[in-house]
Amino acid sequence: MNRTSHKSLLALTLGFSLILVASSCSEEPGGNVQGSGSVPRQPQVNPPSEGNLQREPDKDPGHQGLNAHYREGEVVVTTNRGEDVMEGFQGTVHPVLHGGTQLEVTGEWDAISAGDNLRGRIRPELYQRIKEMSLAQESVTYEAEAFSAFLPVEFETLGHTWSIDLRGTKTFLKQFHPQPLVRLESFGRVIANNGGFATLRAISADYYDIMFRLHAEFRLSKGVWYTPAYLLGHVVIDRQNGRVAYFQMENPVDVSRTSHSSLNGHVTVRLDKETTYHDFLRTDPMWIAGGDASLIDSVAWEESIPLDETAHALGNQFFRFLNINWVSPLEALAIAEAEKKPIFAIVLEGALDDQTC
């Protein structure tokens, strides 16, 4: 499966030229850098069908950018949810899953392979607990009701996007750790956007491929949280047999890069009211999956959106800045020279579309 790219160097030309330089928290090198120009292609989002009520995004606590430590006046990063993005399925078992799904899901969550700012600062037993994070349950069999949390009210056309049932996703998050949170609460971090969205990425006569992105974190113990960059995954539905044929959820990481330049997680340790430690780190791998993974590539999809394009569109539901059309740094320099505009550079300590930063 293609990995989501975080831009390590970004450039934007407005009334003047602007270059944003993101440092080591990005997951993949390079990538395109944006300047003024055409808006990148987005999957189509269809208007809600009649009879479905559109909810007010700013009244949904699951998608507000607030956490347990919010104080009035603090900066809040909220989602960039599209006006036509509807609530997903809220019932018990979705009608499309009429075949009685029972899917075994296994996975891996290995020890931290980068990030070591906590050694010597916290109790050795607490440090060891963080270093040895692993799956709470190595194997779980899920039924149709659990997978229904990721599905839309109705399957519409390619690119149809909806919000997923956050409470329902906790069933799967508990396979990683028994205390998952879909309303981020770790102390001392930016008050970031909560939520989860899914898109109908591919359609054939026999299958649907749904791709989703979810923001979550885990309360490891009192005052200790682990926050993945984000969770990305698939639900592939066998339309003829009415069952889930493949499921996957992972914390993406670019294994081709060195451990210290490919960070995909954040640990917060709050010892007392005056002392809080933070550490950026890498967990590799962190995933759960079940069913036939080859379906993503082997099915003769009649309609489909590329994986990287879908991942970008899902990120766009969280982050408004992804609406910008990035161009390469060299192109930004050429534009600045041609238009006789100065370049203003800003260094960012992290990737903009990454919950760890």
Angle at 328 between CA 324 and CA 330, to 5 degrees: 135
The stretch 254-276 carries a mean pLDDT of: 69
Residues 309 and 348 placed together within one structural domain of the fold: no
What average pLDDT does range 85-89 have in this prediction? 87
For residues 193 and 36, the model is more confident at: 193
- For residue 52, being part of any structural domain is answered with no
Residue 57 lies in a domain: no
Residues 184 and 306 in one domain: yes
Domain count, the chain: 2
d(CA 133, CA 48): 41
195 and 332 share a domain? no
- Could you tell me which residue, 290 or 1, shows the higher pLDDT? 290
Q: Is residue 58 part of a domain?
A: no
Contact 9, 333 (CB under 8 A): no
pLDDT at residue 67 is higher than 70 = no
For residues 20-46, average pLDDT: 38
Cα 2 to Cα 51, 175, 211, 261, 308: the distances in Å are 37, 24, 12, 19, 6
| Domain match, 205 and 240 both | yes
Residue 14 in domain: yes
Do 15 and 149 fall within a single domain? no
Q: Look at 320 and 241; give whichever has higher pLDDT.
A: 241
- Do 345 and 250 reside in the same domain of the chain? no
The pTM (predicted TM-score) of the whole model is 0.74
Whether 72 is in a domain gets the answer: no
Least confident residue range of 221-225, 274-278, 295-299, 300-304: 274-278
Residues 297-320: tens digit of each pLDDT: 999 999 999 999 999 889 888 877
SS (H, E, C) the chain: CCCCCCCCEEEEECCCEEEEEECCCCCCCCCCCECCCCCCCCCCCCCCCCCCCCCCHHHCCCCCCCCCCCCCCCCECCCCCCCCCEECCCCCCCCCCCCCCEEEEEEEECCEEECCCCCCCCCHHHHHHHHCCCCCCCEEEEEHHHHHHHCCCCCCCCCCEEECCHHHHHHHHHHHCCCEECCCCCCCCCECCCEEEEEEEEECCCEEEEEEEEECEEEEECCEEEEECCEEEEEEEECCCCEEEEEEEECCCCCCCCHHHCCCEEEEEECCCCCEEEEEEEECCEEEEEECCCHHHHCCCCEECCHHHHHHHHHHCCCHHHHCCECCHHHHHHHHHHHCCCEEEEEECCCCCCCCC
Establish whether the linkage from the previous residue to 285 is cis, with ω within 30° of 0. Answer: yes
Residue 69 lies in a domain: no
Angle at 354 between CA 8 and CA 12, to 5 degrees: 45
Note the pLDDT of residue 176: 96
Q: Are both 268 and 232 inside the same structural domain?
A: yes
Q: How far apart are CA 268 and CA 266, in angstroms?
A: 7
- Residue 198 falls inside a structural domain: yes
150 and 275 part of one domain: yes
Say if residue 141 is in the same domain as residue 230: yes
Same domain, 86 and 135: yes
- Tokens 């990425």 found at: 201
User: Does 339 share its domain with 251?
Assistant: no
Residues 6+ apart with CB under 8 A from 107: 135, 138, 175, 176, 287, 288, 289
**In-domain check, residue 65:** no
Please tell me whether residues 197 and 338 are part of one structural domain. Answer: no
Phi first, then psi: give them for residue 64, nearest 5 degrees: -75, 150
Residue 28 is predicted with a pLDDT of 36
For residue 267, is pLDDT > 70? yes
Domain carrying residue 308: 77-319
Q: What are phi and psi of 291, to 5 degrees?
A: 95, -160
